[in-house]
Chain A
Amino acid sequence: MTQYLTLEFTAMVTGFALMIIGLWGLLTRKNLIKIVIGFAIFDTGLNISIISMSYLKNRTAPIIDKSIDASNTINLFVDPIPQALVLTSIVIGVGVTALMLAYVLRMFREKKSLDINSYTDLKW
Chain B
Amino acid sequence: MIKNGLIFLVLVGFTVILSGLLINFHGSEQLNPLAGHYVQNGASEVGAANLVTAVVVTYRGFDTLGEVTILFITAAIVGFFLKARKEDENRERSLRKTSEILSTASTLLVPTIFMLGVYIFMNGHLTPGGGFQGGAVIATGMVMIIMSRPEVKFDHGIIAWIESTSGVGYVIIGVLGIFLAAGFLDNHVLPIGKFGTILSAGVIPLIYVLIGLKVGSELTNIIGSLKETQNEL
* Interface membership of A23, Cβ < 8 A: yes
Q: Tell me the A residues contacting B by CB distance below 8 Å.
A: 3, 6, 8-9, 12-13, 16, 19-20, 23-24, 27-28, 53, 55-57, 61-65, 70, 73-74, 77, 79-81, 83-84, 87-88, 90-92, 94-96, 98-99, 101-103, 105-106, 108-109, 112
Asked whether A16 lies within 8 Å of B22 as measured between CB atoms, the reply is: yes
Q: How far is the CB of A92 from chain B (nearest CB, A)?
A: 6
Asked whether A99 lies within 8 Å of B27 as measured between CB atoms, the reply is: no
Asked whether B35 lies within 8 Å of A81 as measured between CB atoms, the reply is: yes
Q: List 23 A-B contacts (CB under 8 A).
A: A6-B27, A12-B22, A16-B22, A20-B11, A27-B7, A53-B25, A56-B27, A56-B30, A63-B51, A64-B51, A73-B43, A74-B39, A79-B31, A79-B32, A80-B38, A87-B52, A91-B67, A95-B218, A98-B78, A102-B77, A105-B81, A105-B229, A106-B82
What DSSP secondary structure best describes chain B's contact surface?
helix
Can you add 15 more A-B contacts, CB < 8 Å, to A74-B36, A106-B81?
Answer: A9-B25, A20-B11, A20-B15, A63-B127, A64-B43, A64-B51, A65-B49, A65-B196, A79-B31, A84-B55, A91-B71, A98-B226, A99-B74, A102-B78, A102-B226
* Interface membership of B70, Cβ < 8 A: yes
With A8-B27, A95-B222 given, is the CB distance from A105 to B18 under 8 Å?
no
B12-33: which have CB < 8 Å to A? 14-15, 18-19, 21-22, 25-32
Asked whether B27 lies within 8 Å of A57 as measured between CB atoms, the reply is: yes
Asked whether B52 lies within 8 Å of A96 as measured between CB atoms, the reply is: no
Asked whether B27 lies within 8 Å of A80 as measured between CB atoms, the reply is: no
B198-233: which have CB < 8 Å to A? 215, 218-219, 222, 225-226, 229, 232-233
Give Cα A26–Cα B233 distance, bound, in whole angstroms. 26
B71 contacts which of A64, A95, A103, A106 (Cβ < 8 Å)?
Answer: A95
With A9-B25, A61-B128 given, is the CB distance from A92 to B52 under 8 Å?
no
A98 to chain B: closest residue by CB: B222
Give Cα A57–Cα B19 distance, bound, in whole angstroms. 22
A-B pair count, CB < 8 Å, reads 136
Give Cα A61–Cα B177 distance, bound, in whole angstroms. 29
Give Cα A74–Cα B21 distance, bound, in whole angstroms. 27
Q: How far is the CB of A106 from chain B (nearest CB, A)?
A: 5
A73 contacts which of B29, B39, B52, B233 (Cβ < 8 Å)?
Answer: B39
B82 to chain A: closest residue by CB: A102
Give Cα A88–Cα B18 distance, bound, in whole angstroms. 24
B38 to chain A: closest residue by CB: A80
With A84-B56, A88-B67, A112-B233 given, is the CB distance from A95 to B27 under 8 Å?
no
Most buried by A among B19, B78, B127: B78
Q: How far is the CB of A118 from chain B (nearest CB, A)?
A: 15
